[in-house]
Structure 1
Amino acid sequence: MLHSYALEATPQPDLRELLEELYRGRNLQPYRSGQPIRMLSDEILVVCRGVVLLGTLYDNGDEALLGLACPSMPFGLPLSLIHPYQATALTDVDLMRLRLMEIEQSPMLAQGIFHHLVRRVQQSEAVLAMVGYRRVEERLRHFLILLKQEVGQPIENGGTRISVRLTHQQLANAIGTTRVTVTRLLSQLQEEGWLVVDSHRHIILPSHVPALS
């Protein structure tokens, strides 16, 4: 049974609108799905469209998923102690780069980034809670529910489509197991009716799947 590690659906101010208001005319930086994102030590990046995959590499070469930066969420080298710290466009994304000096000089911008940074912290704690499950199946269920809450799109039958497509290897990296195990467990969850995979290979969680509440 999944324990209660909830990400509260608290309304957050739209940082994208604030950025558009403060920086009219500044070009966004586009990245195509799969592209690595260049990060500098004195910059914060804000996602204006799409989803960014944040991760690192272990000494043995294995990848680990650290989280997802969704629209309005900030990320960047100044916000992490992890090395190496990597960012990859999971979907096509548009980013705005902000110098630390710009943020320090604008209380309104600093407040907007703070609100969405709190969301990132909540997400990180939910990922840490997931790691505590001994059974791989429980970790996978927990992570899929987390994705539902972060990047889910309601559909007509009451279910939720996970709007991004993670490979079985990326899911395995996220929950600390092998790609083969993830493939087997996804098939098992489909047979149970706990999830559905649509014609575009998006995972759909039916309405009876509980939230992290």
Structure 2
Amino acid sequence: MPEAMPSHFAAGLSTRERQLLEDLYRSRSLSPYTPGQVIPLFPEEWVIVCRGVVQLTTLYPNGGEALLGFAGPSMPLGSPLTMLDPYQAKALTAVDVLRLPAAEVEASEILSQGLLKQVVRRLRQTEALLALAGRRRVEDRLRQLLSLLAVELGSPVATGVRLQVRLTHQDLANAIGTTRVTITRLLNRFRQQGWVAVDKNRHLVIKLAHAP
């Protein structure tokens, strides 16, 4: 059973509304997933990330994978939020999720208000990812992607912003429509320029203050 509701979920609600959401949250069991595990998604069910980071993808007819976004704590995902098939959610870290029937969400004004704020966060992230396609140069697309990831998945450290998840070069290549070899070459260039570093646990550290 969860100990506390993620703070972002009830932001902006009244004390009474927040208490009702906390009571709902505490009464439910969470579903845990390990890094790399695919999270099953069922029709007419909302999935709320309570801990960790989830990667959302779809597949092209040729078998290629396309990045749709990332869902962190308090952010929703699931069949009610997409028309894509296939639509896959994969745990990038240890993840706990809360499952809610769509009918229950629709019947609760307070629950709907809490989820709406997080849907808006997902929408803004999706628009930022779509904007990457407008960049002609692969280098510019990668810079913009890393800057977005620093905001969405980063935590401040002494040397910059550390990404909380370890993304492979292939993950980054899929996100911006290029090859793994190109990503490796560009990341090496960014490291030489002092804009990107890799910590002892192989997590990327983005030095936004040094961005060109």
Q: Same fold per TM (> 0.5)?
A: yes
Runs of 4+ in 1 over 6 A off after TM superposition: none
Q: Quick one: distance in 1 between partners of 2:185 and 2:208? A: 23
Q: Residue 116 of structure 1: SS of its match in structure 2? A: helix
Identity of aligned residues (%): 53
TM-score (norm 2): 0.89
- Which residue number in structure 2 is paired with residue 93 of structure 1? 95
- Which residue number in structure 1 is paired with residue 125 of structure 2? 123
Q: Is the 8 Å Cα contact of residues 105 and 112 (structure 2) preserved in structure 1? A: yes
Root mean square deviation of aligned Cα: 1.8
Q: Quick one: distance in 1 between partners of 2:7 and 2:161? A: 24
1:1-213 to 2 correspondences below 5 Å? 14-15=8-9, 19-157=21-159, 159-209=160-210
Q: RCO greater where, 1 or 2, for CA within 8 Å and sep 6 or more? A: 1
Distance 1:96 1:16, change over 3 A: farther
Q: Quick one: distance in 2 between partners of 1:90 and 1:64? A: 16
Q: Residue 68 of structure 1: SS of its match in structure 2? A: strand
Letter of the 2:34 counterpart: R
Q: Deviations over 1:101-154 (max 9, x none)?
A: 111111111000000100000000000111110100101000000000001111
Larger helix fraction of residues:
2
Structure 2 stretches of 5 or more lacking a match? 1-5, 12-17
> Matched residue pairs, number?
199
Letter of the 2:170 counterpart: Q
Query: How big is the shift at 1:176?
Result: 0.3
Letter of the 1:169 counterpart: Q
Q: Residue 33 of structure 1: SS of its match in structure 2? A: coil
Letter of the 2:202 counterpart: R
Distance 1:30 1:20, change over 3 A: farther
